[in-house]
Homo-oligomer: A and B are copies of this chain.
């Protein structure tokens, strides 16, 4: 399909949004519509079955269809034309009932929803898979000590599990969002020319169509697109949460940090000129997607103020963009699963990095201990002074403090990472309990 189809994307999902599959979903709509109309006595069962049997993408002349899109402005028009001819070749009577009462947008929109429906199930499974991996990682690294960093500076110790528990929660929340959103999104479009329905598109027909396609019925949403854009937002939230994971991993993979690594497959992450490098190539794909998705989502929002009962251009701008959002998000979650699955953790390096500041990261411990005696402000200033001394003399903060003869009990304890992780373990346990 395109050069980077297996890097930024998911092969499975690329297939789902291929031109063949897109047409197949449109045909599925046409077949189902005929069956729904038969079910309600609008056309004969026989005609409906003939139509439905003709709704096969193999029968379609794709090149002809694509070149005719320029004339009609969407894929449904030439498709219905071809389908009607095909049916006519089988049964003249049945051909009268192809696409009966429907409009192009009914086909295009419902087909889009059908793709989303399959995507929805696929994505839910992937979420389950990723959540399981993140849960396992969080369990495993519940007590793995490392430095927490704010503004790219070492701050105070945490455990790796606390970090991954944060990732875990954000992914879990998207799963919940999908549940909230599903009922609004996975619905049929069947309003006819201007969304008002007609005798061939009665409420009963709409219900039958919805049942056949395992979607929910809906009033027309031809130019009220909030549900679609809500879905795009939810995918976007997921993609950017994955971007956060990739950002953290790529930063932890830095040569100078070296705490965490992408799994090294055969030849993976190598550079063409630097045999020693271990590039965050999986993270790079996810981060690239995270730089693209926000603006694709913006296009969906921008497409919302659609004119009257069907837009001239804004609707059209959704087609490829919504697919792209789903396809890139699919790539991101597949890459993320690979990333978490193969994640290598260098716990020793984490401990070494905790010592990099020569005790400065424990300054707050000292500050708090002192504050109890001399007040926060005085303590803060005193410790600040000690820190400056430690830096200028290149000494360990503990050593400086000892030299300053301050009255602090259990100084050693203040400089242990495991004593400095706050409620990390309790928080992790609670989160794991909730997500379970």
Contacts and interface: CB of A to CB of B under 8 A. Distances in A.
Contacts of A393: none
Interface string A396-436: 01000000000000000000000001111011001100000
A297 B296 CA distance: 11
A86 to B, nearest CB: 12
B6 A276 contact: no
Contact of A76 (B154, B184, B272, B295): B272
A212 interface: no
Contact of A317 (B200, B256, B291, B319): B291
A312 B297 contact: no
B196 A223 contact: no
A140 interface: no
Measured as residues with beta carbon below 8 angstroms from the partner, the interface class of chain A is: 35 or more
B363 A276 contact: yes
B73 A276 contact: no
B319 A280 contact: no
A194 B152 contact: no
Contact of A294 (B93, B274, B299, B376): B299
B423 A305 contact: no
A203 B281 CA distance: 31
A167 B222 CA distance: 11
A61 B292 CA distance: 29
A280 B312 contact: yes
A312 B431 CA distance: 26
Contact of A301 (B5, B240, B321): B240
Interface in A246-290: 246-248, 250-251, 253-257, 265-290
A241 interface: yes
A377 B430 CA distance: 53
B223 A193 contact: no
Interface string A333-364: 00000000000000000000100110011011
A227 B320 contact: no
Given A148-B308, A151-B280, A290-B304, 8 more contacts: A84-B377, A149-B308, A219-B430, A240-B305, A244-B304, A273-B364, A275-B384, A287-B314
Contacts of A221: 166
Contact of A100 (B80, B226, B254, B376): B376
A114 interface: no
